[in-house]
């Protein structure tokens, strides 16, 4: 079964790439990125720069009720969650997801508004007899988790990396590709984005987030969320129908696609030694330092090496898993979080529970237990070196 899925993914990858094959070069060109987080990729054409700036405007814009915000939502703009250390980054804003298991079978509790809680609502609009109220977590939910907002810097490079690269990694490091529906391609492909690698492309990520975080329906996600699962309330929706015909989603995709990766911070003898300790402990088996993109119509993304410190695969992380199932991901599995830009964070793990990197490392279990134990066995001085390395990313 696994071999058939891998073969299917390879076919899907070829389909999406329109038959293009990766060029072979003796030395892939190194990426060049600016120092300021939130800037665009270096080497964009004038038209691409214009598209990036237009998309950034869409990312910053506060959506109004007349434009389709809600009826239930989490924030009115992308920037409200993605703002640290600059627009396009992450934040300590968390959302709540809930679910349960019935007879051992995972239930996202869609009938009660699950699995994502929209914690804001548009209220009662002028002339309407109905008052929309925020969603809450049902008392019957047995799985309640929080998800921290992640940075978007550099994700165009990940989007431009062929599925075959992740399939190859999965064959060697014990990770798994989350095989998910690629709406635009009409086939299942490798998930790359989200805490469970449940989203395959940045375009789909933009459409998904627009609907579920802001209530903006769009061509790929045309069905409004029913507040707390009560679809009868939608008869009072002040902006029924398609809120975005697709142009806004395309603009958001352009912006995210051309966001530069976070450049690495100052390297010292301590950080260099720390990276060696990181590798020796086995952390690099999942937090893979270097990947390469495939063919892209954007020259700045075409056959580029980059350094995310992630394989973007699912791994069994034991009790660190959030219990949710998404796509092919099991409850104990999480996507390997990229470590680039680590120095801009002050809370760690999917729910932000860890306030220090030491806490984050020692919380790892499952397939990561051996690496976590190796770290725990280090001397205080060597731990400090490894942490210094992480804080330089």
CB atoms within 10 A of CB 126: 6
- Nearest alpha carbon to residue 312 among 290, 331, 296: 290
CB atoms within 10 A of CB 318: 15
Gap between the terminal Cα atoms of the chain:
38
Whether 314 and 335 have beta carbons less than 8 Å apart is answered as yes
d(CA 224, CA 231): 9
Give the pLDDT confidence of 275-294 residue by residue, as tens digits: 999 999 999 999 999 999 99
- Give the relative orientation of helices 247-257 and 202-214 as an angle to the nearest 10 degrees: 120
- Tell me the CB-side half-sphere exposure of residue 345, using CA atoms within 13 A: 30
- Which position has the token pair 């072979």? 24
For 348, list phi and psi in degrees, rounded to 5: -135, 170
Q: Sign of dihedral through CA atoms 150, 153, 154, 159?
A: positive
Any idea where the domains of the chain sit in the sequence?
2-16+36-257, 269-390
Whether 189 and 16 have beta carbons less than 8 Å apart is answered as yes
* CA distances to 132, 250, 335, 336 from 315, in Å: 39, 31, 6, 7
Angle, alpha carbons 198-360-259 (nearest 5°): 50
Answer left, alpha or beta for residue 127, where phi above 0 means left and psi between -120 and 50 means alpha: left
Whether 82 and 151 have beta carbons less than 8 Å apart is answered as yes
Q: Class assignment of domain 269-390? A: mainly alpha
Whether 88 and 261 have beta carbons less than 8 Å apart is answered as no
The torsion defined by the Cα of 290, 296, 299 and 303, in degrees rounded to 10, comes to 30
Whether 124 and 184 have beta carbons less than 8 Å apart is answered as no
Per-residue pLDDT of the chain (393 residues), as tens digits, is: 444 444 444 434 433 333 333 333 333 333 443 457 999 999 999 999 999 999 999 999 999 999 999 999 999 999 999 999 999 999 999 999 999 999 999 999 999 999 999 999 999 998 899 999 999 999 999 999 999 999 999 999 999 999 999 999 999 999 999 999 999 999 999 999 999 999 999 999 999 999 999 999 999 999 999 999 999 999 999 999 999 999 999 999 999 999 999 999 999 999 999 999 999 999 999 999 999 999 999 999 999 999 999 999 999 999 999 999 999 999 999 999 999 999 999 999 999 999 999 999 999 999 999 999 999 999 999 999 999 999 999
* Cα 10 from chain centroid (whole Å): 22
Angle, alpha carbons 91-55-341 (nearest 5°): 35
């Amino acid at each position: 079964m696994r071999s058939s899925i891998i073969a299917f993914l390879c076919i899907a990858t070829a389909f999406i790439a329109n038959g293009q094959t990766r060029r072979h070069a003796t030395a892939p060109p190194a990426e060049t990125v600016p120092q300021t987080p939130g800037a665009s990729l270096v080497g964009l054409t004038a038209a691409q720069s214009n598209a990036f700036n237009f998309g950034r405007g869409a990312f910053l814009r506060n959506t109004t009720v007349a434009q389709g915000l809600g009826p239930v939502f989490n924030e009115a703009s992308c920037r409200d969650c993605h703002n640290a250390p600059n627009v396009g980054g992450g934040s300590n804003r968390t959302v709540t997801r809930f679910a349960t298991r019935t007879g051992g079978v995972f239930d996202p509790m869609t009938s009660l508004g699950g699995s994502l809680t929209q914690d804001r609502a548009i209220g009662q609009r002028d002339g309407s007899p109905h008052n929309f109220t925020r969603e809450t977590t049902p008392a019957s939910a047995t799985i309640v988790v929080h998800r921290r907002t992640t940075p978007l810097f550099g994700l165009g490079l990940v989007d431009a990396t062929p599925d075959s690269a992740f399939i190859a990694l999965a064959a060697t490091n014990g990770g798994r590709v989350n095989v998910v529906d690629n709406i635009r391609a009409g086939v299942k492909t490798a998930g790359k984005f989200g805490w469970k690698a449940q989203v395959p492309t940045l375009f789909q990520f933009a459409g998904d987030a627009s609907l579920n975080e802001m209530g903006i329906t769009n061509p790929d996600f045309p069905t409004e969320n029913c507040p707390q699962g009560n679809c009868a309330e939608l008869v009072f929706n002040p902006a029924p129908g398609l809120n975005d015909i697709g142009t806004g989603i395309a603009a958001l995709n352009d912006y995210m696609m051309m966001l530069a990766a976070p450049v690495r911070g100052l390297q010292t003898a301590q950080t260099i030694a720390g990276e060696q300790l990181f590798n020796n402990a086995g952390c690099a088996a999942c937090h893979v330092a270097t990947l390469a993109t495939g063919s892209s119509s954007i020259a700045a993304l075409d056959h580029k090496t980059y350094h995310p410190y992630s394989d973007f695969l699912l791994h069994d992380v034991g009790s660190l898993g959030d219990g949710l199932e998404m796509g092919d991901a099991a409850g104990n599995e999480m996507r390997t979080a990229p470590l680039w830009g680590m120095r801009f964070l002050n809370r760690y793990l999917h729910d932000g529970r860890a306030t220090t990197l030491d806490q984050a490392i020692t919380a790892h279990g499952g397939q990561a237990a051996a690496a976590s134990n190796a770290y725990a066995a280090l001397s205080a001085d060597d731990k400090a070196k490894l942490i210094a390395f992480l804080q330089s990313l």
